[in-house]
Amino acid sequence: MTSDQTHVIVGASLAGAKAAETLREDGFEGRVVLVGAEEERPYERPPLSKDYLRGEVGREKVYVHDEGFYAEHDIELRLGRTAVSLDTANTSLELDDGEQLSYDRLLLTTGAEPRRLSVPGAELDGVFYLRSVRNSDALRERLDRGGAVVVVGAGWIGAEVAASARQRGLDVTVIEPASVPLERVLGKEIGAIYRDIHTDQGVRMLTGTGVEALEGDGAVERVRTSDGRVIDCDFVVVGVGVQPRTALAAEASLAISNGILVDARLRANAPGVFAAGDVANAQHPFYGEPIRVEHWANALNQAPAAARSMLGQSALYDRLPYFFSDQYDVGMEYSGLARGCDRVVVRGDPAAREFIAFWMFQDRVMAGMNMNVWDVTDPIRQLIQDGVAIKDRDLVDMDVPLDQLASAARGSAA
């Protein structure tokens, strides 16, 4: 009888909350325990660098579920509690207050945490990181006071914080070792469009250089770059990427490689243990290798798949990676993975910031990004998934609707 069983989820954020919801939706009648180190009930992080950070929406807008949801669904929320040790042989978990939880199934959704800057002065006051709603509150309060900010790193978090700070009227300098913002994911050509978007808004973009040291008397007052520049500032925001939170899993000897290694059913290498969300490096049926995705849609969709897998349903997780970003009045969505591509084909008008970029390998679409063009994610996904040959000239022809192109490609593949 499943009603005798206990399913425990460690990590009460988007992935954990969606998994708990799915266990109930799919009829699990036993105990569901959702353990979260943060005091806050599960919330979504994307607003923390965007409208929530700018003070345009309040706390109520970020929660995954309303307050009554967990009690109504008989989900035991253990907030402000950290799982400190896992014994997979005895299927038990220990929390920081000594509570022992026996589980029939365990889902690890422990997420990711910001990489720290390791240069002299990194511990000075006035150096901000952004992962939690508390971090966002602290940064919002600092933005309210205005002044000059140096953003270290022009990845997604750095770029969005730079945009929000500019929108709040601060003086913003971004320092990024790559030649353009977001280069690792978007490459030079499309990254350059983001550079121009920021510089048009008055951001000082220092690329091709790193941070040598942060300096100040107690609190940061200036940043010294590796090419010898000195940038005065009132505070610093560091956005140099995240790393999966694997300590609990690693101490329990689960297989770890760039996250917790799981198969396409989200199963780890110990009986009854699963992982999903930012922490999971999951075997992907489409790519034929493990993929770890640090984005909202993956937590939203992969965790329910893990919950179904916990219930013994045959739930392969094969969605293509997808993410979005909003900076100023520029929105984008990205589907697929651009690894190993040989060129970028652009449909539309990059100067007007209204276009779709396709990352190609030979005659196949590997990834697509739509900027300020909407409702095209499905055909882009279809083009990637079908993997049929497609000509650059057809992709760029604005007279041919994208869904028609995707259907034609599908037809020719059949």
CA 347 to chain centre: 26
Q: Find the shortest distance in angstroms from Cβ 342 to ligand FAD.
A: 26
Binding residue for ligand FAD, selected from 21, 234, 294, 386, defined by CB under 6 A: 294
Q: Are 33 and 64 in contact (CB under 8 A)?
A: no
From 33, 34, 130, 233, residue interacting with ligand FAD (rule: CB under 6 A): 130
Nearest to 400 by CA among 389, 391, 412: 391
Q: Among residue numbers 57 through 86, which ones bind ligand FAD (CB under 6 A)?
A: 82-83
Of 7, 105, 166, 245, which lies in the binding site for ligand FAD, with binding defined by CB under 6 A?
245
45 binds ligand FAD (CB under 6 A): yes
Q: How many CA atoms lie within 13 A of 198 on its CB side?
A: 31
Pick between residue 16 and residue 121 the one whose CB is nearest to ligand FAD: 16
Spell out where 61-182 has E strands: 75-79, 83-87, 92-95, 100-102, 105-108, 112-114, 127-128, 148-152, 171-176
Token pair for 293:
């995705």
38 near ligand FAD (CB under 6 A): yes
Q: Does 11 engage in binding with ligand FAD (CB under 6 A)? A: yes
Q: How far is the CB of 79 from ligand FAD (least distance, A)?
A: 9
- Ranges assigned E (strand) in 289-362: 289-291, 322-327, 330-336, 343-349, 354-361
Closest distance between ligand FAD and the C-beta of residue 300, in Å? 8
Is the separation of the CB atoms in 173 and 232 below 8 Å?
no
> Which is closer to ligand FAD, CB of 83 or CB of 101?
83
β-bridge mates for residue 283, sequence order:
290
Least gap, CB of 365 to ligand FAD (angstroms): 20
Token code pair at residue 338: 């651009």
Does 268 help bind ligand FAD (rule: CB under 6 A)?
Answer: no
What strand order describes the sheet that includes 100-102? Answer: 83-87, 92-95, 100-102
Candidate residues 9, 19, 48, 193; the one interacting with ligand FAD per rule CB under 6 A: 48
Per DSSP, the three-state class of 382 is helix
Judged by CB under 6 A, the residue of 5, 110, 225, 370 near ligand FAD is 110
Q: How far apart are CA 24 and CA 59, in angstroms?
A: 26
Collect all residues with Cβ–Cβ distance below 8 Å to 231 and sequence separation of at least 6: 150, 173, 175, 206, 222, 223, 225
Under the criterion CB under 6 A, does residue 92 sit at the interface with ligand FAD?
no
Contacts of ligand FAD in 336-395 (CB under 6 A): none
Kindly state the helix (H) or strand (E) to which residue 307 belongs, with its residue range: helix 296-310
Contact 22, 304 (CB under 8 A): yes
Work out whether 13 is an interface residue with ligand FAD (CB under 6 A).
yes
Q: Give the interface segment with ligand FAD, choosing from 107-115, 167-175, 382-390, 404-412 (CB under 6 A).
A: 107-115
The single residue among 111, 121, 158, 321 that binds ligand FAD, judged by CB under 6 A, is 111
Closer CB to ligand FAD, residue 94 or residue 212? 94
151 binds ligand FAD (CB under 6 A): no
Q: State which residue, 297 or 305, has the beta carbon closest to ligand FAD.
A: 297
**Using rule CB under 6 A, residue 333 touches ligand FAD:** no
Establish if 14 lies at the interface with ligand FAD (CB under 6 A).
yes
In the range 164-193, which residues lie near ligand FAD by CB under 6 A? none
Q: Which stretch binds ligand FAD (CB under 6 A): 30-38, 119-127, 311-319, 362-370?
A: 30-38
Per rule CB under 6 A, is residue 121 in the interface with ligand FAD? no
Residue closer to ligand FAD by CB (options 193, 390) is 193
Rounded CA separation 67/11 (Å): 17
CA 114 to chain centre: 11
Q: What amino acid is encoded at 332 in this protein?
A: M
Among 325, 327, 370, 382, binds ligand FAD (CB under 6 A): 325
**Greatest extent of the chain over all pairs of C-alpha atoms, in Å:** 68
**In the complex with ligand FAD, which residue's Cβ is closer, 131 or 364?**
131
CB 356 within 8 A of CB 346: yes
Residues in Cβ contact with 393 at an 8 Å cutoff, skipping those fewer than 6 apart: none
Q: Are 84 and 99 in contact (CB under 8 A)?
A: no
Check residue 195 for interaction with ligand FAD (CB under 6 A): no
Segment near ligand FAD (CB under 6 A), from 4-12, 61-69, 190-198, 385-393?
4-12
Beta bridge partners of 75: 32
- Tell me which residues touch ligand FAD (CB under 6 A): 10-16, 35-38, 45-46, 48-49, 82-83, 109-112, 130-131, 157, 245, 248, 277-278, 294-297, 299, 323-325
